Structure 1
Amino acid sequence: MSRAADVAPPLRLMFGGDVMLGRHVRDVMQGSGTHAPLEGVAPLLRSADLAVANLECALTDATNRWHGAPKAYYFAGPPDGGQALSDAGIRLVSLANNHSLDYDVQGLADTVRILDLHGIAHTGAGADLGQALAPAIVPCGEVLVGMAAFCDHQDDFAATDDRPGIAWLDLHDEPAAMDAFARALAALRAAGVRWTILSLHWGPNMVTAPSPHLRRLAYAAIDMGWKIVYGHSAHIFHGVELYRDCPILYACGDLVDDYAIDPELRNDHQLLFEVELGDDGLRRIVLHPVFIRRGRAVPADHTQRTWIYARMRALCRDLGTEAQMEGDVLVVERDAATPHE
């Protein structure tokens, strides 16, 4: 048998940003069918070995909103959102965000039940702190992929030993954050997980680059042993950075939403991040342009992808990463990083 025949095909993980199925997107589902918001990108999601997203809403028919301090926005997708996610190919989601409890503890309980019903792994929120901190593990063939998720805002959503909520962290308390990261990593390693993903819902909305503080935390997580840092919350994508040959996706933007469009930041122009992994680590990252049109995610057209690619190349360059065109696809290769000090 030839040497080439012994080489295993790459493991392909597809990362999307926030999936928000409430408000107008919920109306789209009710008027045009459950699958309408994601059916345009479903073939791409399903083509991966594992598709991952941040579920930025409850899946519930509950009507009682969060019992704590009033919020500006409350997001509830319909219960059949679980079917929409599953049929689109999404098999792993983070619930550590500032909308998982928008419809109080009943909304979170409904979300967890619905995800479990459809076989969608989840982490970052639960009936108590132990469940919120419990990592999710998904088999991809003979390889295990695992994820733990944390959020740095909406501290009143924080789970406790006897209260449902999210895995909230004060990321400015770096020793506590590092301790939480280490405990989650140890649990995944003990379970035999090969590829470990640290999901972080962090930083402010609509900023174009990660702060030095967040970059420092990402480096520390990879120094600790995490293989992929998967960030979201900004609603727009940030550049990719490679550190010790590990990908840092600081902000994956949104996959679907109904948000107002900023004419300069153009938050309807988004990306899916395909991370290809080989036996020896990262091979490359393929960037797939997405456009959000009236509550639906669809492949970007030529004009949209030209804007997305130009912006992404500039953002990557600012982080010391070279993104190059391979045919009509934008790719970050394993050796695309400027060496760190």
Structure 2
Amino acid sequence: MARLGFTGDVMLGRKVDEAQRRQNRPVTAVWGDLTERLRSLDALFVNLECCLSTRGERWTRTHRPFHFRADPDWAVPALDAAGVEWANLANNHLLDFGETALLDTLDRLDSAGIARSGAGEDREAARAPATVEVGDADDTAAHDLRIAFVSATDNTPEFAAGPDGPGTAYLDLSEETQARETMEEMLARARRTDPDLLVASLHWGPNMVEEPADHFRRFGRWLAERGVDVVHGHSAHVFQAVEVHEGTPVLYDCGDFVDDYAVDSASRNDRSFLFEVEVEDGEISELRLVPTEIDDFAVGEASAEAAEWSRKRMRELSAEFGTRFETDGEELVLEP
């Protein structure tokens, strides 16, 4: 059995970066009192919502209100300390400081042994799958679980990788036929790695939207029908519903995990979950949602009030999809 953690946006730049460096915080400070929980997982998978570099210039070719960059000298050890084994890079902030910072991000993750997908030196590399071998920490005799990841984003087309230029794996998901054709090619490449588990990670849709668009629902269900085992969605900054389609959990949006963003008092973008997937004999046996809360530029276990709010909201959002949860202490567990 393996326990895998999925999170939404991990943004380590701006005030998070400043707090870490100027206050000389330990690298684990961004994970707060969740550090041990994260380290107990067999692997942690995140959307990295910033570049990792001290170089580059702010993107000015098109209007960008925010630019996120973290010093890799602390940020990479922080990812490693939490047990991050893979990062999605297909998002709307990876080129905030241009191609130089993007390439630095690739190099620093590669040097740390953290797999990544969704960006690269050119379009072919950006669309390439990543693979992670996960062993069961409690059973040294267990066969490693091979997980393949494909990543794409429908955000910021100007960041798209070209035939000969670096960037992200951009897909216009509103052009459903073309998007499916491209994704089918990406899935075929991933299947050639002979994975036990196939994950599609999508940075899709606008900010602060609490329900997935109809074409995202169709795309998520299509991915499940094409044999994807987990659909890992993010981008909205608030968590959205969980749907189970043909046995595949579709996490439409995992919300924010750690950042420095202003908090909307209604949508509560500071509250979300650590999504834990238990895999046994190559099959998903449990989905568990651990309530989280952002405070002082770090993520931590949600307060009782915040956890209750998040559980109630997740149940409301997911009911439309026929998804039901049991309560286990402060946590939610997907009903069989």
The more displaced of 216-225 and 99-108 is 216-225
SS for the counterpart of 1:52 is strand
- Equivalent residue number for residue 64 of structure 1: 57
Asked if the contact 1:185–1:225 (Cα under 8 Å) also holds between the matched residues in 2, the reply is: no
Task: Show CA shifts across 1:277-319 (max 9, x none).
Answer: 2226222211101110021101112121111111111112122
- Equivalent residue number for residue 138 of structure 2: none
- Equivalent residue number for residue 4 of structure 1: none
Mapped to 2, the partners of 1:42 and 1:95 lie a distance apart of 23
**Corresponding letter in the other structure for 2:49:** E
Asked if the contact 1:28–1:37 (Cα under 8 Å) also holds between the matched residues in 2, the reply is: no
- Equivalent residue number for residue 110 of structure 1: 104
Is 2:51 the partner of 1:49? no
Is 2:241 the partner of 1:239? yes
**Corresponding letter in the other structure for 1:253:** G
Structure 2 gaps, min length 5: 136-143
**Corresponding letter in the other structure for 1:27:** E
**Corresponding letter in the other structure for 1:231:** G
Is 2:126 the partner of 1:132? yes
2:280 aligns with one of 278, 297, 301: 278
CA shift, 1:63, in A, is 4.4
SS for the counterpart of 1:62 is coil
Is 2:88 the partner of 1:94? yes
- Equivalent residue number for residue 219 of structure 1: 221
- Equivalent residue number for residue 67 of structure 2: 74
Asked if the contact 1:40–1:296 (Cα under 8 Å) also holds between the matched residues in 2, the reply is: no
Mapped to 1, the partners of 2:273 and 2:127 lie a distance apart of 28
**Corresponding letter in the other structure for 1:114:** R
Mapped to 2, the partners of 1:99 and 1:39 lie a distance apart of 24
Is 2:11 the partner of 1:17? no
Alignment of structure 1 residues 252-263 onto 2, 5 Å: 252-263=254-265
- Equivalent residue number for residue 181 of structure 1: 183
Structure 1 gaps, min length 5: 1-8, 336-341
Asked if the contact 1:12–1:50 (Cα under 8 Å) also holds between the matched residues in 2, the reply is: yes
- Equivalent residue number for residue 28 of structure 1: 19
CA shift, 1:28, in A, is 1.6
Asked if the contact 1:42–1:89 (Cα under 8 Å) also holds between the matched residues in 2, the reply is: no
Mapped to 2, the partners of 1:222 and 1:329 lie a distance apart of 25
The more displaced of 67-76 and 117-126 is 67-76
- Equivalent residue number for residue 146 of structure 1: 148
Alignment of structure 1 residues 162-181 onto 2, 5 Å: 162-181=164-183
TM-score (norm 2): 0.94
SS for the counterpart of 1:139 is strand
Mapped to 2, the partners of 1:212 and 1:251 lie a distance apart of 14
CA shift, 1:260, in A, is 0.5
Mapped to 1, the partners of 2:277 and 2:318 lie a distance apart of 15
TM-score (norm 1): 0.92
Mapped to 2, the partners of 1:148 and 1:266 lie a distance apart of 29
Mapped to 1, the partners of 2:266 and 2:329 lie a distance apart of 28
Asked if the contact 2:117–2:128 (Cα under 8 Å) also holds between the matched residues in 1, the reply is: yes
**Corresponding letter in the other structure for 1:78:** D
Asked if the contact 2:119–2:169 (Cα under 8 Å) also holds between the matched residues in 1, the reply is: yes
Asked if the contact 2:56–2:99 (Cα under 8 Å) also holds between the matched residues in 1, the reply is: no
- Equivalent residue number for residue 190 of structure 1: 192
- Equivalent residue number for residue 141 of structure 2: none
- Equivalent residue number for residue 297 of structure 1: 299
Is 2:305 the partner of 1:312? no
Mapped to 1, the partners of 2:225 and 2:72 lie a distance apart of 40
Task: Show CA shifts across 1:75-127 (max 9, x none).
Answer: 00111211110111111000000000000001101111111111110000011
Mapped to 1, the partners of 2:196 and 2:182 lie a distance apart of 19
Mapped to 1, the partners of 2:154 and 2:46 lie a distance apart of 17
Identity %: 40
Mapped to 2, the partners of 1:56 and 1:326 lie a distance apart of 31
